Amino acid sequence: MPEPATEPDTEPTVEAASSRASGTQWARNPVLPGFHPDPSVCRVGEDYYLVNSSFEYHPGLPLHHSRDLVHWRPIGHAVDRPGQLSLAGVRPSGGLYAPHLSHHDGVFRIVCTLVDGHGPDGTFLLTADDPAGPWSDPLWLPDAPGFDPSLFFDEDGSAHLLGTRQIHADGRTAIWLRAYDLTTGKPTGPEHVLFHGALVAARWAEGPHLYRHDGYYHLVLAEGGTEHDHAVTTARSRRLAGPYENNPRNPVLTHRHLGRDHPVTGAGHADLIRTPGGDWYALLLASRPYGGGPHANLGRETFLARVVWEDGWPVVNPGAGRLTEETEVALPPHPWPAADPVDHFDGPGLAPHWNVLRTPPTPVHSLTARPGHLRLPLLPQTLADHAAPAFVGRRQQHIDVTADTALDFAPAGPHEAAGLAVLYDAEHHVTLLVTGDGRPGGRVARVTVRDAGVQTVRGEAPLPPGPVRLSVRARGQEYTFGWAPVGAGPGEAAAVVAVATVDGRLLNSAHAGGFTGCYLGLYATARRDGGSGDGSHNGSGSGNHADFDWFGYHPEPGPGGAAG
């Protein structure tokens, strides 16, 4: 792995600026669509690496690689094995919060917080020689209270940990810094409180990052909470330990003044990066509500913005002062090969866009039991449990998209079910499941909605014997579930029999709370029909299984399907 390039504080030469101009391109926002919040980015030479929060999903802390800040390819996860770190039993939107990625002296490091773990939790450090892994077991940092940690390496090579500590129930916080020995995980100096937020009575000043520029230490942080009032604020000091001067132009970016009907809301939690040519950019999160009201089913996504320095302070997207649909990037294009829209499950492992819930004690799927298929056992755990059900899902990354699959499954009765799920969290999801209808060998396709813990059957249709094709078609906030014969191949038109159309506005944080986004996936369970309604599974599972031949993810052309 190459060493990071030096990044002098001087501006690039005229020749370098001319070279950059010849390689300019435009990035379409968001650059990472779908549930990719809290981005943290580092550069090693001409390579950029980015990590995001993942909360209760496993494998956790997804990593992406880019050569141009525009095109990103998944390269793996930092938390990818049960013995490394357990997410067992964590609540929805608990788990892995706000990681920070850095590279120093040939070592990649991630500091992160495990929230509400049922074993060790709190702040921890992971290391790797290659960002694609393997990553180390966690080194727990018990002297690092709070959340949203980040690392800063000063010019003398010393390592310092920043973090956020809540100091009042109303959301007031303190941003702190301590020198750390990253081998032992112990602090080597006193704590310094650097900041409490830029605005009067600031709430949720968090996500601190430090940078050196033009003789100053620059502190960049999120403020105002991660919803509509989110913002990016900054402060600076000549001394690492402060005092820090508040930027008189704060916030340097927010969308809260644009009103709740603006198409992009909640902009904040920025991490800055400098290119070899001397240009600065910010990767940050924001959301795209749609369908009327604040409903952003795709969750908090990763956006890109330009940063320039004026009077020693950062200015985000000069001339616009907000996130824009397209961002000019002074780097030559470096796209990656397009991913296959259909997964045929014929590889040795799942592709990196797939996740399961929490940390299963044993695998909840198999790719070898029936080669060329994904097999799910019928476990007693359901999506309503704070457990690890037989669910394998991927992020919904487009507003308008169709997902479909070919399912081979013979339920033994009404207590066994398998099919598709659209999941926000344990209390808010929709399923299209093949299940027994009470007659020997009889089956139906049934659509069930779980909203605020209450389950309602929205529609069902009888099925013929044999494999069937199941689909969910999202057009804005309308999710239409249906089935078809398997004669048509993946991605081909089929005469779909609609079972039910569901209002998707129940599938987002504005309705349900939390910090995640919609997942589309494959699911199987053995339970009493309808579930218990209280989040606990009812049944003991079975020896049966469901086989999925393929899964297709097909964005629609146009504004709702083009991002990403």
The pLDDT, as a whole number, for residue 493 is: 60
pLDDT along the chain (564 residues), means of 10: 36 34 85 98 98 98 98 98 94 98 98 94 97 98 96 97 96 96 96 95 95 97 96 98 97 97 97 98 98 96 98 97 97 96 96 97 95 97 97 98 97 96 98 94 96 97 96 98 84 80 98 98 79 43 92 84 49
State whether 393 and 518 are in the same domain.
yes
Q: Judging by DSSP bridges, how do beta strands 280-287 and 265-274 pair with one another?
A: antiparallel
Q: How far apart are CA 218 and CA 271, in angstroms?
A: 12
State whether 325 and 346 are in the same domain.
no
Which amino acid does the sequence have at 148? D
Domain contains 349:
yes
Q: How far apart are CA 61 and CA 65, in angstroms?
A: 13
Q: How far apart are CA 439 and CA 41, in angstroms?
A: 56
Q: How far apart are CA 101 and CA 121, in angstroms?
A: 19
Q: What are phi and psi of 14, to 5 degrees?
A: -60, -40
Long-range Cβ contact pairs of 254-262 (< 8 A, separation 24 or more) = 254/224, 254/229, 254/230, 255/228, 255/230, 255/286, 255/322, 255/323, 256/224, 256/228, 256/229, 256/230, 256/231, 258/322, 260/228, 260/294
CA dihedral defined by 166, 217, 318, 198, rounded to 10 degrees? 30
State whether 282 and 375 are in the same domain.
no
State whether 315 and 419 are in the same domain.
no
Q: What are phi and psi of 16, to 5 degrees?
A: -65, -40
For the chain, the domain total comes to 2
In this prediction the pTM is: 0.93
Domain contains 225:
yes
Domain contains 13:
no
Known catalytic residues are: 38, 206
CATH number for the domain including 507?
2.60.120.200
CA 10 to chain CA centroid, Å, is 35
The last residue of one of the domains, among 304, 329, 354, is: 329
The last residue of one of the domains, among 329, 357, 391, is: 329
Retrieve residue 402's tokens: 């169709």
State whether 275 and 353 are in the same domain.
no
- The DSSP call for residue 21 is H
The pLDDT, as a whole number, for residue 538 is: 45
The pLDDT, as a whole number, for residue 4 is: 36
State the Rg of the chain over Cα: 24
Domain contains 27:
yes
CA atoms within 13 A on the CB side of 324: 16
State whether 361 and 308 are in the same domain.
no
Domain contains 86:
yes
Range(s) of the domain holding residue 536: 342-562
State whether 46 and 111 are in the same domain.
yes
CATH number for the domain including 31?
2.115.10.20
State whether 241 and 374 are in the same domain.
no
CA dihedral defined by 478, 483, 489, 495, rounded to 10 degrees? -80
The pLDDT, as a whole number, for residue 8 is: 34
State whether 57 and 111 are in the same domain.
yes
The pLDDT, as a whole number, for residue 15 is: 32
State whether 301 and 374 are in the same domain.
no
Domain contains 334:
no
The pLDDT, as a whole number, for residue 73 is: 98
Domain contains 276:
yes
Tell me if 161 sits within 8 A of 182, measured CB to CB. Answer: no
Domain contains 9:
no
State whether 476 and 543 are in the same domain.
yes
- CA separation, residue 34 to residues 9, 51, 393 (Å): 35, 14, 13
The last residue of one of the domains, among 329, 357, 379, is: 329
The pLDDT, as a whole number, for residue 558 is: 67
